[in-house]
Each structure stands twice: as structure tokens, then as C-alpha cells.
Amino acid sequence: MSNTLAQDTWRAVLGELQMCLPTSTYETYLKDTSGLAIEDNQFIISVPNAFTAEWLEKRVYHLVHKTVNKVSQEPLGVTFLISSPRPTGLPVSAKKSPKTKPSTEGLFSSNPRYDFSSFIVGPSNNLAFSASEAVALGKTTLYNPLFIYSGVGLGKTHLLLSIARKCLERGVSHLYVTSEQFTNHFISSIRQGKTDEFRAHYRNVDVLLVDDIQFLGGKEQTQEGFFHTFNDLHNSNRQLVMTSDKPPGELPSLEARLRSRFGWGLIADIQPPPLETRIAILRSKAEQMRVDVSSDVLHHIAERIVDNVRDLEGALIRVVATAQTEKAPISPTVADMALAPFLAASRNVSAALIFNAVEAVFNIPRSVLLGRKRSKEIALARQITMYFLRRELRLGFSEVGRHLGGKSHSTVMHAVRKITASMHNSPEVRERIHSVKEVITAQARLG
């Protein structure tokens, strides 16, 4: 069977797996895998390293095997094959080393989606997109550093790699690295006595791109190394771009001097996309997949998947795969069938589950939420509880009030309106809401 079919099949499998596995598991162990080939009744899956292969084999082999057979409609075994080693995090300088290939070149050849042209722009991400494009084209020095933050699955890495791709096209020396790679490299350079090589590695580029900077939190020596790298690059007018799940001010595990420097340039956030943008994302994804999906179906999916672009794309892949499996046209009915396991989570949501989620995120007992204390933190937790009781359970304002110890109709209405407005105006509140939503979804799926 052709490699192309293996790739398409694996994309459909990933769409299934993304719906039934925790986001952290999918991001860590499945995001960077690909369908390689189908040979001798074995479905061969390319994985980046031995650790990933071992984890997948021990923890989710049965689920992967079952899903592969369901999508392919063939009795296939599953084999995880470690991809050929490829240099990662290596700088490229068109001026000094024209024969050296950048670490992102192989990534781009296998993932053409990482490009500004494939990024769907809307009101929720316009600032981050425009700033990233300006930096990539060298049109401004004002956004240095550029700090992009958002919840998971909203496009931070896409923008970072789009900048890297544009640097590659323009012959600008650049380096893309995750904070984990930076940390591991820093530690190994100390152990091997190669700190001079480490410094040269990161400071001889024109653009440094660091993904998930929040994971430097708590690593004092690594933060020290990054602090000096930052200073050296910034003082020589070279560009830094970083991503995180929170704005600098909400990363207390990072040193204050780093948080301060992260705010020297531009801080841009990406919010969950509105309905119109979600439909545009789905339409673009359908075109990439070369499948014909009606506007009714796209609208149907977009109304049900609201918080995460990655989940949105995974939902479309699942719908297309289900239609192919059922040999049925892609319709709203098929979409409901395909998304049933995911949407079932929302049906498992209860008032008790919402209270549990708020307790977990805020570390405030339910008895306090129902009490009369009115500190800022408790008031916020109480209002977010009302917001989710209203949003998830479709309860009336008075009924929500009864769940909160007899709060009045007007109190609940005010709380819901305030939290809804804060979703757009307050990054702190938005992050809390996303955290509560993730806990609700995870617990509902388990239930």
C-alpha cells in the first residue's frame, strides 16, 4: 500500500485518538508521529525516539491497534519505527555556513502546513499573526522580544515555525528550539565541559525561537544560561521570539529579571476562535485533505468544538474517516455519529463535577464557595462556577443561584455577564476558565 495512503490512514487514526486521550498525552507522544507504510500486514508508524516507541507500546498499543484496524478496515499489526536521527536545534547561517541545513528544514518538508499562508487569521489571533509576520520579514525591530501566549492548540507553535520557515526562505540565520531541548543541551554542555560551544550555538544566530518557555520554570541554572543568552542577542539587536501558555506576569516560577525582559517588546495573546473563524479553519483543513464538506457540516462541527483549534481539526478528520468507514456521505448526522464519544463528555457533566473542577483549579473547598467570604479569589471562583453551571448545564439563573447557596437571579446574571466579558478582557480570567474547562472535560470523559 502506498506511503500516501498510510499517511492518510494515520491522520484519520490520530483524529480518533485525539478525541479519547488526554491532550497532554496526545501532545507528548502522538503529535510528532506519522504513518510510514503498510507492509506484510503491518502498519508502520514513524516515531521520533526510542522513549516514545516504548511508551506507546506499553501504554496505548491496544487502543492504537484497535483504531488502526477500524480505520483501515484491515486486520493489521502495528509497528513503531524510530525515525532516522535528524539534527535538532542546530543553527543555520546562510552567510557563514551555506551548506549547513537548519533544524527546521526536514520538519518543513514533511509538514508543509507550517506556513503563514495556512494560518487562518481572525479577531482572536490577528495581533499575534501580524507581529509574527512582521518579525519574519524583518520589517520591524520594535517587537523584540515577541512573546506569544495562549492555551493549548491555538496556533503558537504554528506561528513560531512559520517564522522559521520564512527565515529559511530569506536566508536569515535562525534557531528553533523547545525549552526542553534548551534545558537538555544546557545540562549536557555543563557535564561535558562544552559551555563555550553551547554559548556559540545559541548566540550566533539572527533569530532565536523558543517554544513553551514556561517549562524553564524552577530550573535556576538553565534560567541563568537563558538570561545571558537573551542579553547577548538583545544587546546585539538580534530577534527573540518566545511562546508560553501564560503571559510573563503569570509565570512566577520564572525569575523576575526574565519576566521583566520578556515584556520589553510586544506581548500578544491568541484567544479561542469565534464561530466564523472556526468555520474558516475547518474549510481550509477540508481543502488540505481534498475532501468536499458542505457548509452545513462545517457549521455543525464548529458549533460543537469551540475551545481548541487542534481539537477542531481532529474532529473534522474523525468525521471524514467515519463517513469513509460507513460508506456514507459527509452529513450532520454522520458528524454527530463521529463526534459522539467527544460530545458524550458534555452529557456527563454535572453540577458536582463543575464544583470539583473549580475546587481543583482554585484550591478552594466547596464549603467556602457556598459560604459568605468575599475575597477577590473566592469571588472569582464563585463567579466562574456560576458561569459553568449556566454554560454547561443550561440552567436558569435562579437555578444556578440555588446551587450556590441561594444567590439571587440578578447576582447570577451579573456574574455570568462579568465572566463572559472577562474572557475577552482579562488573560488571567481566561486562563482560569480554560483550566477549569480542561478539568471538566477530562473528568467527564472518564465518567
What does the pLDDT look like over 289-317, one tens digit per residue? Answer: 888 999 889 988 888 787 678 778 888 88
Of 1 and 32, which is predicted with more confidence?
32
Domains plus CATH for the chain? 3-82 (3.30.300.180), 103-270 (3.40.50.300), 275-339 (1.10.8.60), 351-446 (1.10.1750.10)
pLDDT given for residue 343 in this prediction: 61
Chain segment 154-171, per-residue pLDDT in tens = 889 889 989 998 998 888
pLDDT band for position 372 (cuts 50, 70, 90): confident
The cell for 281 is 479553519
pLDDT band for position 132 (cuts 50, 70, 90): very high
Mean pLDDT, residues 413-437 taken together:
81
Give the span between the Cα atoms of 205 and 292, in whole angstroms: 44
Chain segment 397-413, per-residue pLDDT in tens = 888 888 998 888 889 88
Contacts of 355-360 with CB under 8 Å at 24 or more apart are: 355/385, 356/439, 356/443, 357/388, 357/436, 357/439, 357/440, 357/443, 358/384, 358/385, 358/388, 358/436, 360/439
- For the chain, how long is the longest CA-to-CA vector? 71
pLDDT given for residue 23 in this prediction: 67
Chain segment 11-23, per-residue pLDDT in tens = 888 887 877 776 6
Percent of the chain with pLDDT over 70: 88
- What's this model's pTM, rounded to 2 decimal places? 0.59
Chain segment 27-77, per-residue pLDDT in tens = 778 888 998 888 777 888 998 877 678 778 777 887 888 888 888 877 788
- The segment with the largest mean pLDDT, out of 78-92, 169-183, 227-241, 426-440, is 227-241
pLDDT given for residue 213 in this prediction: 92
Q: Which of 112-121, 205-214, 246-255, 359-368 has the lowest mean pLDDT?
A: 112-121
